[in-house]
Amino acid sequence: MKAITKANFEFPGQIKVYNGKVRDVYTLENGLLVMVASDRISAFDHVLPKGIPFKGQVLNQVATYFLEATRDICPNWLQATPDPSVAVGVACEPIRVEMVIRGYLAGHAAREYQEGKRVLCGVTMPKGMKENDKFPAPIITPATKADEGHDEDISREDILAKGIVPKDIYETIENYTRALFQRGSEMAAARGLILVDTKYEFGLRNGEVILIDEIHTPDSSRYFYADGYEERQQKGEPQKQLSKEFVRQWLMENGFQGKEGQQMPFMPDDFVHTITERYIELFERITGNKFEKSDTIDIQSRIQKNVNAYLISLERH
């Protein structure tokens, strides 16, 4: 099984390329974006040294599944998926705030809570909570989008006071965030999962707010298994997760949290294989569909051919 970690594509009409931690985004002169989901994996804002076979395909296909399932809630950027690892859609002006929404005290929120903090991004968290307890109602804890380094927590009040996002647009993305999380939670529950927390990104196109990037994937979301959740909480046991958190846990156990001076641990092949299996399991669990592994003999040529064929077909119409 091969993984694609680095590629330099040249698509027809390409004017610029942005290499993210996981995705590479190619801007075309016709106003379209070609988003290639690589097999890179990141944690603590660092890209790990090895690629994870089929991870990009899983991310792309899970995101596509949810973008199609939420079009009735808000418009989104996606137009086509010409390759298992590629999405093509309309370019938007990104809104520089990441909308993080949390239904449970987990991950970053739990770490802050354990340090004694009871206010996160201007939102007061109830006293007496245990890690992975459900919040009385989901809370929105936004982050400013950083081009480099860590995204920073920010409150709704600061976003509006600093004029990062106009009030009417912020209220729109806030409403979309709640509605999308509600839908994602319902879809997860139908598959025996709990959508714990997630993040959404939005952009503007001709003044309209558009949902961009990925949604409800294991890179942007955390899932618990619903079965046994209450029992594990009562016993104070860790929750069974279907998310990228186990990768973070492995890194922490091996002395890495992305802090200065820390050395990235060596990733054995069996751990890489485990990550692949977990991603495929999440795909099948969350969508109810069987995962069909794409041909990985020459991923770069496959992607180039499929995207070129799609773009040429657009010109013919």
* Domain locations along the chain: 14-93+248-316, 96-235
Average pLDDT of the residues of the chain:
94
Q: If one looks up domain 96-235 in CATH, what number appears?
A: 3.30.470.20
14-93+248-316: CATH architecture? 2-Layer Sandwich (3.30)
- Given pLDDT bands bounded at 50, 70 and 90, which one contains residue 148? low
* Tens of pLDDT, residues 215-272: 999 888 999 999 999 999 999 999 998 878 789 889 999 999 989 999 999 999 999 9
Find the mean pLDDT for residues 145-157: 79
Q: Report d(CA 288, CA 187) in Å as an integer.
A: 11
Closest Cα to residue 239, out of 103, 133, 135?
A: 133
Any long-range contacts for 106-112 (C-beta under 8 Å, 24+ apart)?
A: 106/131, 106/132, 106/196, 106/197, 106/222, 106/239, 107/196, 107/197, 107/222, 107/245, 109/141, 109/197
Task: Confirm if 210 and 76 have CB atoms less than 8 A apart.
Answer: yes
DSSP 3-state assignment of 245? helix
